[in-house]
Structure 1
Amino acid sequence: MSHFLPEDEVVLRACQGLALTYPGIGLCVEPLYLLATRPAPQRRVALVAGGGAGHEPLHTGLLGRGGLDAVVPGAVFTSPGSAQIAAATLAAALLGPRDGVLLIVKNYTGDRINFALAADQVRAAGIPVAEVVVDDDLATDEAAAGRRGTGATVVVEKLLGALADQGTDLDGLAELGGQVAAASRSIAVCARAHTSPADRTPAFHLEPRSLDYGIGIHGERAAHILADHPSVDLVVTRMLDELLGHVPTGPYGVIAAISSLGGTSDLELRIISALVHQDLTSRGVHVHALAAGTYVTALDMAGFSITLTGLAPGWAGLWDLPTDTPLRLPGSAASTTTTLAPPTHVPPTADRSGTAATAQYGGRAFLDELHQVAALAHADLTALDQATGDGDFGDNFCGGVTAAVWLADRAKIAGTTALADTFRDHVGGSSGPLFGMLFTALAPSADHFPADIPALAAALRRALSRITAIGGARPGDCTLVDALAPAADALAVTPPAEPGRALTAAAHAAIDGAHRTAALTARRGRASYTGHHSEGLPDPGAVAIALVLTALAHVHEPRIAKELPALPDIIRC
């Protein structure tokens, strides 16, 4: 959305938005800086940090009590100027009775030069100034300019903010900052470049399934590319192997901070954090704090960084102190996952009648046939749902069928009963409960041989009634009901004079109903949210109903069911 603003307005507007959101933050427009207006009364030394924009919430996220006093933002990926930094530093020093200012500087040439010049200006005004340089990026360990300053900046700012609020003097804060920076290292990987602000295209190209290993937060390319995209657990292990070679891991443990580079979801970060915790604890490293979130970014780059800080006495307590800042970091981590047991008594929710009877027949033919069909249809169902919904239907439906096979084997229960239990209790979304109702209705009769057509007809009627009552869909709404209703009608009216064709006729009806959904406008389900994007495509739930009826027909009427369309013709209409 920032692409709709002139480039010189982007950072200013972002600062305005932050100051409006958090009343304890003040904004100076010319020169541009942000100031915490409610500092802790015991604070004697102001903390000032800053750098180019595009790394948010770095710096601005820790502006306030327990964090920084002033933040100086530059243009995207560009250091602020020395006059701008000097003005912010003077403002922070004069906000209350202060004994000096500590500048927290990331190790980039522009930042080092401009902060050093600003420090000279402030000292000339009679205000003591010291600097802490953060240089944690392990990927640039041997660079002539030294290691870049990246993810450890958050740890340094958090610990210094807590100590500053206790009234520590300038020398004490500078000493702690240097120690924390020395005890911290970071490394980052990415799978997709950030969007260049200049031309709105990816800043560089990575081959599919490749990772840039050691990427910089300004989009600086890494020296190493990991081809053929190794699994995330192997990538995490490699990163930790390198970090632990440089980070002290004594009796006080470590802080592990996992940050999105801007385009990595919280879901992915939580997975990575679990892998980091598991890996470190397996090596005997105590993880005092496990922070996973968006802390130091490179605009919208798809990647993540890991920062490790080896703790010294008293540091853990500083980390755990609360802040009044936009970014709230977690305190001490759990040593293990708290595992909860389910309730010991669950009232029965399904009609289990017929289970014993079906078991004597083996009761697996329908489940096995549906399993084969689902495996072949998985990719097509996913593609249909990506076009008309959120793309999870293939995984939910086909994964549910596979899980039912496992349950039937483990629990020695009939196949359709396993389908009912699995979809009802373990498959999420709307497909889980809706197909759970269908399989629950079919369970007493689907595994009987020979087929009990009246019982199956009654089962489809029960399922249709229950699904429409719970889901609210009716024929014509472009849902699975558009395949289930004609199948139930066909099975109910098949004349007895045509024995052996009832299920095949029902499957034909379900297939025709699924195909007709391509001409309908969705009024229920996720496809109803996507407007014209779902037009011309069959509803994936209706297609799955057609697959269920087709599998039933092939099991109970194998000779007649050969006239049914082939699988690709059922799915692609």
Structure 2
Amino acid sequence: MVKSLEVDESVILSLRGFVASHENIKLIKADRIIYRVLNPKKQYIAVISGGGSGHEPLHAGFVGNNLLTAAVCGDVFASPSTKQILNAVKLANKDPYCKAVLLVVKNYTGDVLHFGLASERARSLGIDCETVVIGEDVSVNSKFVGRRALAGTALAHKIIAAFASTKGDEYSLDDAVAVGEIVNKNMITIGAALDHCKVPGRKFESSLKESQMELGLGIHNEPGVETLEPIPSVEELIEEKMLTRLFKQSGTDKSFVDINSTEEVLLLVNNLGGLSNFAISSIVYTTLNLLKKNYNVKPKVVLAGTYVTAFNSPGFSLTLLNISKCDERLKNKYGIDSITELLALETDAPAWSSAFKVFKFESEYEDILFSNDDADLEGIEVNDVAQLKKVGKIDYSRFTKILTSACETLKKAEPHITHLDSQVGDGDCGYTLVNGCDAILKNLSKWESQQLYFSELLHQLSEVIENSMGGTQGGLYSIFISGCLSGVLQKFAEDQDRELDSEYLAESLSYGLETLFKYTKARAGDSTMIDSLEPFIKTFAETKGNFSEAFEAAQNGMNNTKESKAKFGRASYVGDSSESVADPGSVGVVEFLKGALKEI
């Protein structure tokens, strides 16, 4: 029966079953939001997380008192949409005791983009909202995207959320962010597995032989950093491969987190989904012995079990958290003797047991299954534009012509862009951009008839782009436009009837670029759309609105992508074959600007 289910349908069935089997947990089916029923007695900071399904009990399993306020569930191994996340934020914000919302995000591109965009939109609606990104994998450390998030995410959830619920009335959202950053900085994880996982509704694929296993694999079926053959014993694997990488970065004598025998340490042994409890317990004992034998490290806290999985992956991960270093930063500033207090704080979250080991090495049916899952959407799905401050009048007789020309020119260039992307990407860049243009053209007459102010238009535009384009491109452009909106609201709110002009546009574009740079490390020279977008915006600002000069700068940037190797996106995976081919995304920017220039 399970074989015949569509993957997204299986996600809903799983969430329904989860709610049916746990008290005080509810489901908003339309947005796949799992949330807890609250009865707070003081102000607190709501903590929301989420991501792709397939990592259960992460994230829904950690929804409960003194832990996550809500979890937002995407498709299998895919980030939830910005709309889903924003609705979770608005749900939390409905509670009068909630003074702010913190989004805890795993360091994967889709998650960072969509949670980041949700945070930007929430702030534009007057909700105090921030993000903290978790990434603690020692096997991957890209200087462009950082480290991946693994089982340490569960620890981050517990510590951050316990602080936010118990100290949220005393301390600010920035303080909660700081706690998350401190935990992330002092945490390291590595995983190993005998094979890849089987995703429901998809064909099982693996390049591993029966005599091989992988070290340092991710939780989305990504390959590891090393294939081990023959398969070592558990002791050899932990001692020679896993602990070695935890205590030293590959090829160096440095570690991501320094740990010595005088410091208090937490050990988390996490089941990636396919191992027995019997095996996990054996791995705990083996790891404890090897830590003492080789590093004289005796963990104060030991947690073991299933926290973050990759479906049925036959593997496990080891996480070390330097308690002492965290406590050094937290004790004096926040009056917390130890993060172990936050870890031990009782919760009814289904996947967290507060009865963990502090180690001294030495010595209710009908109502649930047939109720209206979406009743709590009432009051969330409101007209966000009505809440926005009206800033910036637009001459639509001119603006509509410019935007129409830009979109039509880009659409005509689709075959060329698709051809380029078939060489360096997955061939969908042109179609994705056309989807965005079609959506803009479809809505232009409506926006003009409503005579939306610039701030209102930017808000609508951001949503239209994200919903029509999707993926990384949609996320990036939506974040950029949301950043432009934030700039308009900050810089021009006092002169709300001022008409949109070059100076106005330059200021908002610059702010949008600055915001975009918070969520991507791509810069000019990295062979992405930034190579055209950044020089256009900077030149447009420097020349006080000379569109021709700014377009020329964008065109030069696009031409330069033929000479550089892509560092981001799917083109970065094809190696040297990305050279001599203009970046499709950058070409898309130039074609859009070319169309605008025709009318300007």
Secondary structure at 1:275 match in 2: helix
Counterpart position of 2:316: 304
Contact 1:273 1:292 in 2 (8 A): yes
Secondary structure at 2:31 match in 1: coil
2:360 to 329, 332, 335: 335
Counterpart position of 1:20: 20
CA distance in 2, matches of 1:337, 1:3: 50
Counterpart position of 2:277: 266
CA distance in 2, matches of 1:71, 1:155: 15
Pairwise CA RMSD: 1.8
1:322 has 2:346 as partner: yes
Secondary structure at 1:67 match in 2: coil
Contact 2:77 2:220 in 1 (8 A): yes
1:192 has 2:195 as partner: yes
**C-alpha displacement at 1:40, in angstroms?**
4.5
Counterpart position of 2:182: 179
Contact 1:39 1:69 in 2 (8 A): no
Closer, same or farther: CA 42–73 of 1 in aligned 2, 3 Å? same
1:439-518 counterparts in 2 under 5 A? none
Contact 2:152 2:187 in 1 (8 A): yes
1:241 to 237, 240, 244: 244
Secondary structure at 1:188 match in 2: strand
Spell out, residue by residue over 1:91-112, the C-alpha distance to the aligned partner (whole angstroms, 9 max, x if none): 0122342111000000111001
Contact 2:43 2:99 in 1 (8 A): no
**C-alpha displacement at 1:249, in angstroms?**
2.6
Contact 1:188 1:215 in 2 (8 A): yes
Spell out, residue by residue over 1:141-178, the C-alpha distance to the aligned partner (whole angstroms, 9 max, x if none): 13632211111100100111221221333122110000
AA aligned to 1:331 is F
Secondary structure at 2:52 match in 1: strand
CA distance in 2, matches of 1:39, 1:70: 14
Task: Give the TM-score, by structure 2 length.
Answer: 0.54
Spell out, residue by residue over 1:522-559, the C-alpha distance to the aligned partner (whole angstroms, 9 max, x if none): xxxxxxxxxxxxxxxxxxxxxxxxxxxxxxxxxxxxxx
1:31 has 2:31 as partner: yes
1:295 has 2:298 as partner: no
CA distance in 2, matches of 1:259, 1:205: 24
Secondary structure at 1:192 match in 2: coil
CA distance in 1, matches of 2:152, 2:352: 16
Spell out, residue by residue over 1:468-506, the C-alpha distance to the aligned partner (whole angstroms, 9 max, x if none): xxxxxxxxxxxxxxxxxxxxxxxxxxxxxxxxxxxxxxx
Closer, same or farther: CA 290–269 of 1 in aligned 2, 3 Å? same
Contact 1:191 1:211 in 2 (8 A): yes
1:25-104 counterparts in 2 under 5 A? 25-38=25-38, 40-104=40-104
**C-alpha displacement at 1:194, in angstroms?**
0.7
**C-alpha displacement at 1:261, in angstroms?**
1.2
Counterpart position of 2:379: none
AA aligned to 2:191 is A
CA distance in 1, matches of 2:98, 2:38: 14
Contact 1:43 1:166 in 2 (8 A): no
Counterpart position of 1:141: 141
Counterpart position of 1:559: none
AA aligned to 2:259 is T
Secondary structure at 2:290 match in 1: helix
**C-alpha displacement at 1:8, in angstroms?**
2.2
Counterpart position of 1:225: 227
Contact 2:4 2:201 in 1 (8 A): no
CA distance in 1, matches of 2:144, 2:68: 30
Identity, % of aligned pairs?
31
Q: Which runs of 5+ in 1 are unaligned?
A: 339-573
Contact 1:43 1:164 in 2 (8 A): no
Counterpart position of 2:497: none
Q: State the aligned residue count.
A: 337
State the structure with more CA Rg: 1
Secondary structure at 2:191 match in 1: strand
AA aligned to 2:304 is A
Contact 1:320 1:332 in 2 (8 A): no
Q: Which runs of 5+ in 2 are unaligned?
A: 248-254, 328-337, 364-600
**C-alpha displacement at 1:130, in angstroms?**
1.2
**C-alpha displacement at 1:333, in angstroms?**
3.0
Contact 1:40 1:65 in 2 (8 A): no
1:534-573 counterparts in 2 under 5 A? none
Contact 2:40 2:97 in 1 (8 A): no
Secondary structure at 2:286 match in 1: helix
**C-alpha displacement at 1:278, in angstroms?**
1.3
Spell out, residue by residue over 1:48-79, the C-alpha distance to the aligned partner (whole angstroms, 9 max, x if none): 00000000001212101121001000000000
1:364-513 counterparts in 2 under 5 A? none
CA distance in 2, matches of 1:323, 1:288: 21
**C-alpha displacement at 1:240, in angstroms?**
1.4
**C-alpha displacement at 1:17, in angstroms?**
1.2
Contact 1:42 1:166 in 2 (8 A): no
CA distance in 2, matches of 1:286, 1:248: 14
Spell out, residue by residue over 1:286-327, the C-alpha distance to the aligned partner (whole angstroms, 9 max, x if none): 312111111111111111111111112221221122211101
AA aligned to 1:28 is I
CA distance in 2, matches of 1:103, 1:87: 13
AA aligned to 2:219 is I
Secondary structure at 1:318 match in 2: helix
**C-alpha displacement at 1:182, in angstroms?**
0.8
Secondary structure at 1:30 match in 2: helix
Secondary structure at 1:10 match in 2: helix
